[in-house]
């Protein structure tokens, strides 16, 4: 019985302390490690923070410079170039008319934006072509072959238009032999002379082009 008690005392006495040694050894060294590394870690953290703040300042300055550039560019007055000036170039047409009578028959030049040339009404001529031009619409398209046209005769007048419009070459012929041809001609008045213009026309009267 005394032997058991002796062993028990050995287990729970000072000799048993090594069993708890690893736990006791870690606890006293933790503060020592913290106190030794603390100043260096704080110094490194402060250095990293200064570098970060400097980098942010540099990036912010660069972004401010980039943002200011478009504003300065927009503030600079410029002369706008519309699609007609930059993409279409110059629209120039030559119109040759015959069969309308004296004072109208002849060849005429017209240049648009602004309208000018030997044509009697260059501005009106340009406007007539412009209103017949659009997406899917060709002002100088040939007549449809399958169109149903009235048997209406508009006289012997003919017209030939050449040149360029909307960046495309123009080569078109007009007459007034039936209702479809008359409608196609009239759509381009005053690029083409109106019916009754000149003397010796189908109506025998002289009217301004």
Q: Which helix (H) or strand (E) holds 58?
A: helix 21-75
- Residues 27-63: tens digit of each pLDDT: 444 444 444 456 677 777 777 777 877 777 777 776 7
**Residue 88 per-residue DSSP state:** I
What are the residue boundaries of the structural domains of the chain, listed by start? 2-75, 84-186
| Top-tier CATH class for 84-186 | alpha beta
**Residue 84 per-residue DSSP state:** I
| pTM for this entry | 0.56
- Residues 100-126: tens digit of each pLDDT: 998 999 999 999 999 999 999 999 999
Residues 111/122, Cβ–Cβ less than 8 Å: yes
């Amino acid at each position: 019985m005394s032997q058991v008690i002796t062993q028990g005392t050995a287990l729970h006495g000072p000799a048993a302390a090594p069993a708890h040694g690893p736990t006791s050894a870690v606890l006293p060294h933790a503060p020592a490690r913290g106190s030794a590394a603390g100043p260096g870690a704080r110094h490194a953290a402060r250095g990293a923070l200064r570098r970060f703040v400097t980098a942010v300042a540099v990036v912010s300055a660069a972004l401010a410079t980039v943002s200011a550039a478009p504003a300065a560019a927009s503030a600079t007055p410029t002369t706008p170039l519309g699609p007609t000036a930059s993409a279409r170039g110059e629209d120039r047409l030559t119109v040759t008319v015959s069969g309308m009578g004296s004072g109208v028959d002849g060849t005429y030049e017209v240049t648009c934006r602004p309208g000018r040339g030997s044509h009697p009404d260059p501005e009106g001529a340009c406007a007539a072509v412009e209103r017949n031009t659009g997406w899917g619409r060709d002002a100088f398209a040939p007549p449809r072959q399958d169109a149903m046209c009235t048997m209406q005769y508009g006289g012997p007048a003919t017209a030939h238009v050449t040149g360029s419009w909307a960046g495309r070459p123009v080569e078109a012929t007009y007459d007034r032999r039936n209702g479809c041809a008359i409608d196609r001609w009239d759509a381009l008045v005053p690029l083409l002379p109106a019916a009754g213009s000149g003397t010796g026309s189908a109506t025998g009267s002289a009217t301004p082009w």
